[in-house]
A and B are shown apart, each in its own frame.
Chain A
Amino acid sequence: MQWVHLLNANVQKEYLEMKRYLPNTIALIVTFYAIFLGMFAGIQIIGDPASQDVNTQYAIVNYIFWFLSIMIMQNIGWEITNEAMRGTLEQLCMSPMGLWRILSARLFSSTFLYLIIIVVLLVGTMLTTGQWLNIDVVTILPIMLLTLVSMIGVGFMIAGISIIWKQVQAFLQILQFILAGLTFIPLSVAPLMVFLPFVKGVDLVRNVMIKGWSFQEISGVDFLILGFNAIFYFILGLGVFLFCERIAMRKGLLAHY
């Protein structure tokens, strides 16, 4: 039950802060939508008319995933840096639940809240473009869950790095371009990217939403790769985080940024 109370407290905190920083949240959504409109206009004006519809659909799915990955992974880095600057990180570290559990709750909470925003944005982009994607919830849900697990794993790595290196802001700026690469490049172009985090998941969601794949059309091997990828990156991320936390506690880096 302690986990539930922890999660509940963090969902509420994330929601309240999102509400208190409402202009920021609105600016974020508006910026996202404006950039999407720019991309859509580009496809319409200079894109090949024969493949315009498919390109638009790819743009929607890729862009949505890019936004989601930035929100989950970059956000945790900013949060850690902010908490250290504010002086609250040490308080969190003093919880008998352990910092990694608190961060898990934070990651799950922010993922949940951003997923709601994503759904709104997805509908908004589909309405704007008139391109309706295949939203097969039964097929998308398990893929999304496993994809999010590997995203959270990478989020842990970034959180760990943020605790140790004060100059992480520069890295976080670059990170969004790395994430763009991971979400925009299809596996058919670069098959070896299957070993990278959440690429397989994004690829499968693309197939479901654009090509209309159903649950039966996804092979067991695909799910196995997806599951392995999720578990591998989650464990790796958590391991990196715990290692970084230990270094921070040895060197006294939990406060005074």
Chain B
Amino acid sequence: METIIEVKHLKKAYKKRKSKEYVHAVNDVSFQVKKGEIVGLLGPNGAGKTTTIKMICGLLIPDSGEIYVNGVDNQKKRLEALKHISAVLEGNRNLYWRLTVRENLNYFAGNRGVSKKEAAERIEDLLEKFNLKEKENELVNRLSRGMQQKLAIMVAMLADSEIILLDEPTLGLDVETGYEVRELLRDFVSNYNRTIIISSHDMDVIQDLCDRTVIINEGKVVTNDKIENLLQLFQVRAYTITLGGLLSDEQQRQLLQKFPQFEYTPDTVESTLKVNLLRSEEIYDLFDVLKKENTPVEAIDRATVNFENVFMKIVKGEFNHAMGPSS
């Protein structure tokens, strides 16, 4: 697949007002996005996601590094690069609340130099798709939060640009509207050949929509891989063993030696033991320890890992994953 966004060694620091110290919001971030991908840009608050997104959108000038948007250097030819990008950065705040749905769409189309006539067909199509046809003459301040959010996404889609950046697209939406938005985004990628970068704290959205995630922490990329790979890595190694009694001190000492991060919850009737194995074969070592004192094993469960767990482990530095997308 052809690369549509290329971010190379991006750095951005802000000066604190009082102490005059520099805060490195983004520190040597590099990644690529292929045409037609949905990529999740994740990280805890203050990790540098929004700064990275704003630099890609040309709203912030990086201190150093390069960004190519569809082959165009967005620092040298900012306006040319912007032809390929649209974004929803602050959700419903990106709209004019005293204009109607249609007036907003017409205005933003006009601001990109598109005529009303040219935009008309596209607006009709979007109104139908986003289920807002009945509300086209309603003032934005009278719409529900979900409808406002959908309109903000429509404005981004209206631009007809190949790349769409969405910062928290489902924030504050009810389950139904959130699902509707996800379906629409999926449809736009598959049927309209768009590439989407999503920044969100909603891991369900990321897991459901994205092919790949770039996780940023403290201004650096800590993981760049497909979600299925990340899930698989955790899935095979996390076990919960239910024991029909207690472990002896000697057993606990041996387990600590072999599995330093094991979690043990003692209970005279039913104790639980959680281990993360580095290799699948290590399960035999675990059984050896249990067998020594004939500790009854009631059940063995491979822990179900959802993407939120994976994300938390990566961000907390509990898991050191090699950088770069693996196939």
Contact = CB atoms under 8 A, between A and B. Distances in A.
Contacts of B116: 5, 8-9
Interface string B156-181: 00000000000000000000000000
A96 B107 contact: no
9 contacts: A6-B113, A87-B90, A91-B94, A91-B108, A92-B111, A93-B58, A94-B59, A246-B61, A252-B14
Contacts of B97: 86
Interface in A7-22: 8-10, 12-13, 16-17, 20-21
Contact of B60 (A2, A9, A102, A249): A249
B59 A102 contact: no
Contacts of A5: 110, 113-116
Given A87-B94, A94-B86, A2 B113 contact: yes
Interface size of B as a range? 35 or more
Nearest to A10: B110
Contact of A90 (B80, B83, B94, B99): B94
A17 B93 contact: no
A58 B153 CA distance: 53
Interface string B6-42: 0000000010000000000000000000000000000
A17 B98 contact: yes
A256 to B, nearest CB: 9
A218 B98 CA distance: 46
Nearest to B96: A88
Interface in A91-150: 91-98, 102
Nearest to B15: A251
B85 interface: yes
Contacts of A92: 111
A250 B106 contact: no
Interface of A: 1-3, 5-6, 8-10, 12-13, 16-17, 20-21, 86-88, 90-98, 102, 246, 249-252, 254-255
Given A6-B113, A94-B59, A102-B111, 19 more contacts: A9-B109, A10-B110, A12-B103, A12-B110, A20-B139, A87-B90, A90-B54, A90-B89, A92-B111, A93-B59, A94-B82, A94-B87, A96-B80, A96-B112, A98-B79, A249-B60, A249-B61, A252-B54, A252-B60
B59 A90 contact: yes
B122 to A, nearest CB: 14
Contacts, number: 104
B243 interface: no
Contacts of A17: 96, 98-99
The 8 tightest CB contacts between A and B, nearest first, are: A9-B110, A2-B113, A87-B93, A87-B90, A96-B82, A96-B83, A20-B98, A5-B115
B198 interface: no
A250 B61 contact: yes
Interface of chain A: mostly helix, strand, loop or mixed: helix
Given A5-B115, A246-B61, A249-B61, A88 B99 contact: no
Contacts of B82: 94-96
Interface of chain B: mostly helix, strand, loop or mixed: mixed
A86 B109 contact: no
B230 interface: no
Contacts of A10: 107, 110-111
A134 B94 CA distance: 47
Contacts of A95: 82, 111-112
Contacts of B205: none
A2 B113 CA distance: 4
Given A90-B94, A249-B60, A96 B103 contact: no
Nearest to B54: A252
Centre residue among A1, A249, A252 by max chain B CB count within 10 A: A252
A98 B82 CA distance: 9
Given A13-B96, A88-B95, A91-B155, A96 B57 contact: no
B156 to A, nearest CB: 9
A87 B152 CA distance: 12
A113 to B, nearest CB: 16
A96 B79 contact: yes
Given A93-B59, A94-B57, A255 B90 contact: yes
Nearest to B51: A252
Nearest to B94: A91
A100 to B, nearest CB: 10
Given A9-B106, A16-B103, A21-B98, A97 B61 contact: no
